């Protein structure tokens, strides 16, 4: 999809054309979902993030410059939505009694939620991917975002630097550290990855 | 070369963006230092693995969900979401009070039985309003064809000829006129799919059903952990986890959020608790489908 195809669609959206937005969503929902999934670590949260991100995108269309790349802009919206939703769910004021009922730590909860209730046995490849995804989910949000943008969304160092408003050198060194951290998390699972 | 320095350069080394003299120094160090060598190999493998990772497919219902939310957000002064309300000073106290009350209820309940912790938060300070239900009586009958395909027979009954469309996700799978005892056979479901079937009648949704792609024979007691789900999502999860069809009739409060933790209980118990908390009436259709009606 070239930017020029999108810009016509976006113009129509700005004029309140619902069908145009429907089409725009169809073009980008898969990409947005993949990004959200890698950031959130599970399918359900990914859906929530994507839905909220598109609502924001729709409401914020008037701030989007027609000549810019919609995909890149949407990337940023998804990342910000993920961070906001994460902040909300962590910062919510629960009465202390209720906290006792919640499982300790995001990781454990996420592990249970990640268990797909399906009778199919996981093939080795899928197991590896699950372990990888869970490891990514254990990174801090900042590191996770870097890893996902570079390795899954295939953005360049420069594109990431632009999106996050950081110097390119900083992005490179932080990404390096994120890779080392990820490797350390995966270390115990080495038998699964023997090549 | 110090190990610390080596590690800082690992990415550049792998990407070959490093000057040859420096790369040579790294080779030297790697030859002597086993742990740095392992680190380098580890990162290299990891890089490769991520490059090969497959794209995931969004769920079938995602698109309609997105559009629904977008359309709902369209009015000039959009209704604030419940979490936005919770953070406005006026409402914070009210919400905290509701949470406190529910937490107390859940906690005292929990001391009796560790099996389920269920809390429901309704949005905006307004109670879940009773719904006037005008429904199209329906019945789902699952059956397996000779090829092992799962099909659903939907039997509907209307007092006068009514135009009905059955929609799964964004796709209409059946449409027609329903009169006395009309039967629709819905298309085959690929293994692992969950059908979200909506009967659209007079332009409004009156029925939603979650039909797992296989009917489980054995009694499942899955562990469930759900946070901040809408009523529909909660029921969809339960239908999938237990492998049973669930049908929801009527409109539920879209702002209500459910927290659910269950360490594994039988389906009947789960549904009874849920119906209590969500103010739903449980009944069973002849084919065994569980029907939940919003009051």
Contact criterion met (CB < 8 Å) for A151 and B51 = yes
A151 and A79 share one domain: no
Q: What are phi and psi of B100, to 5 degrees?
A: -60, -45
CB contacts, 8 Å: B70 with chain A: 21, 25, 54-55, 58
Cβ-in-10-Å burial (0-12, 13-18, 19+) of A94 comes to middle
A75 and A15 share one domain: yes
Contact criterion met (CB < 8 Å) for A152 and B50 = yes
A57 and A133 share one domain: no
Q: Are B249 and B271 in contact (CB under 8 A)?
A: no
How close is the nearest chain B Cα to the Cα of A24, in Å?
11
A135 in any annotated domain: yes
Q: Are B120 and B101 in contact (CB under 8 A)?
A: no
B62 in any annotated domain: no
Q: How many independent structural domains does chain A possess?
A: 2
B172 and B238 share one domain: yes
Alpha helices in chain B (DSSP H): 3-14, 20-32, 34-52, 62-72, 82-87, 89-112, 231-242, 267-278
Which letter, b or e, does each residue of B144-176 get, where b requires 16 or more Cβ atoms within 10 Å of its Cβ?
eeeeeebebebbbebeeebebebbbbeeebbee
User: Range of B153's domain?
Assistant: 100-294
CATH number at residue A80: 1.10.1740.10
B227 and B141 share one domain: yes
Q: What digits encode the pLDDT tens for the residues A44-64?
A: 899 999 999 999 998 888 777
Of A25, A46, A151, the CB nearest to B63: A25
Q: Which residues of chain B have pLDDT under 50?
A: 75-114, 122-134, 191-192
A114 in any annotated domain: no
pLDDT at A158: 92
> Which residue in this structure is represented by tokens 């000829």?
B161
CB contacts, 8 Å: A33 with chain B: 56, 58, 62
pLDDT of A157 above 90: yes
pLDDT at B144: 63
A117 in any annotated domain: no
Instruction: Provide the mean pLDDT of chain B.
Output: 71
B117 in any annotated domain: yes
CB contacts, 8 Å: B64 with chain A: none
CB contacts, 8 Å: B106 with chain A: 98, 101
B242 and B123 share one domain: yes
Q: How many independent structural domains does chain B possess?
A: 2
Q: What is the largest CA-CA distance in chain B?
A: 86
B274 in any annotated domain: yes
A13 and A58 share one domain: yes
User: Range of A21's domain?
Assistant: 1-91
CATH number at residue A147: 1.10.10.10
pLDDT at A168: 94
B32 and B168 share one domain: no
A6 and A75 share one domain: yes
Contact criterion met (CB < 8 Å) for A152 and B53 = yes
Of B45, B63, B99, the CB nearest to A95: B99
> Which residue in this structure is represented by tokens 């992005």?
A171
Which of these three, A72, A91, A110, is where a domain ends?
Answer: A91
B88 in any annotated domain: no
Residues in Cβ contact with A143 at an 8 Å cutoff, skipping those fewer than 6 apart: A174, A177, A178, A181, A182
Residues in Cβ contact with A114 at an 8 Å cutoff, skipping those fewer than 6 apart: A41, A42, A130, A133, A134
A29 and A80 share one domain: yes
Q: What is the share, in percent, of chain A residues with pLDDT greater than 70?
A: 75
A35 in any annotated domain: yes
A160 and A78 share one domain: no
A131 and A176 share one domain: yes
B168 and B271 share one domain: yes
B14 and B111 share one domain: no
How close is the nearest chain B Cα to the Cα of A10, in Å?
15
Q: What digits encode the pLDDT tens for the residues B183-218?
A: 777 776 554 455 566 666 655 555 666 766 555 556
pLDDT at A96: 32
pLDDT of A105 above 60: no
- Using DSSP's 3-state secondary structure scheme, residue B246 falls into strand
Contact criterion met (CB < 8 Å) for B192 and A47 = no
DSSP B184: E
A85 and A130 share one domain: no
- Shortest CA distance to A116 belongs to which of A44, A189, A33, A35? A44
* Structure confidence at residue A116 as a pLDDT band (50, 70, 90): very low
Under 8 Å CB pairs connecting chains A and B tally to: 138
Predicted TM-score (pTM) of the model is 0.49
């Amino acid at each position: 999809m070239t930017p020029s195809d999108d810009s016509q669609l976006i113009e129509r959206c700005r004029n309140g054309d619902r069908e145009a937005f429907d089409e725009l969503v169809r073009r980008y929902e898969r990409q947005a979902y993949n990004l959200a999934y890698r950031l959130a670590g599970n399918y359900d949260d990914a859906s929530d993030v994507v839905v909220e991100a598109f609502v924001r995108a729709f409401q914020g269309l008037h701030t989007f410059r027609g000549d810019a790349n919609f995909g890149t802009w949407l990337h940023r919206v998804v990342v910000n939505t993920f961070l906001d939703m994460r902040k909300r769910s962590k910062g919510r004021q629960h009465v202390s009694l209720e906290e006792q009922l919640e499982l300790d730590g995001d990781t454990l909860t996420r592990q249970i939620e990640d268990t797909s209730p399906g009778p199919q046995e996981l093939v080795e490849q899928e197991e590896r991917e699950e372990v990888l995804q869970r490891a990514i989910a254990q990174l801090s949000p900042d590191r996770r975002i870097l890893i996902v943008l570079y390795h899954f969304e295939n953005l360049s160092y420069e594109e990431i630097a632009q999106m996050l408003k950081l110097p390119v050198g900083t992005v490179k060194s932080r990404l390096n550290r994120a890779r080392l951290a990820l490797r350390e998390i995966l270390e115990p699972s080495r038998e699964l990855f023997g090549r | 070369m110090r190990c610390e320095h080596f590690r800082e350069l690992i990415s550049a080394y792998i990407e070959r963006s490093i000057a040859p003299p420096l790369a040579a120094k790294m080779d030297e160090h790697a030859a002597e230092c086993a742990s740095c060598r392992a680190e380098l190999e580890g990162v290299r493998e990891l890089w490769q693995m991520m490059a090969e990772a497959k794209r995931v497919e969004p769920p079938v219902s995602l698109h309609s969900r997105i559009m629904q939310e977008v359309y709902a957000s369209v009015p000039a002064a959009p209704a604030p979401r419940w979490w936005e309300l919770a953070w406005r000073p006026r409402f914070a106290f009210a919400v905290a009070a509701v949470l406190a009350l529910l937490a107390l209820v859940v906690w005292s309940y929990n001391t009796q039985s560790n099996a389920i912790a269920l809390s429901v938060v309704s949005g905006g300070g307004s109670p879940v309003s009773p719904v006037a239900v005008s429904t199209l009586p329906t019945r789902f009958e699952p059956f397996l064809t000779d090829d092992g395909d799962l099909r659903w027979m939907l039997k509907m009954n209307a007092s006068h000829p009514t135009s009905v469309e059955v929609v799964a996700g964004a796709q209409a799978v059946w449409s027609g006129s329903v009169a006395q005892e009309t039967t629709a056979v819905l298309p085959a479901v690929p293994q692992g799919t969950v059908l979200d079937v909506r009967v659209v009648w007079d332009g409004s949704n009156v029925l939603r059903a979650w039909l797992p792609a296989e009917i489980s024979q054995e009694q499942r007691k899955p562990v469930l952990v759900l946070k901040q789900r809408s009523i529909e999502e909660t029921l969809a999860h339960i239908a999938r986890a237990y492998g049973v069809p669930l049908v929801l009739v009527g409109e539920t409060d879209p702002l209500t959020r459910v927290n659910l933790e269950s360490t594994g209980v039988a389906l009947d118990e789960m549904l009874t608790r849920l119906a209590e908390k969500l103010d739903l009436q449980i009944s069973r259709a002849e084919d065994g489908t569980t029907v939940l009606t919003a009051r």
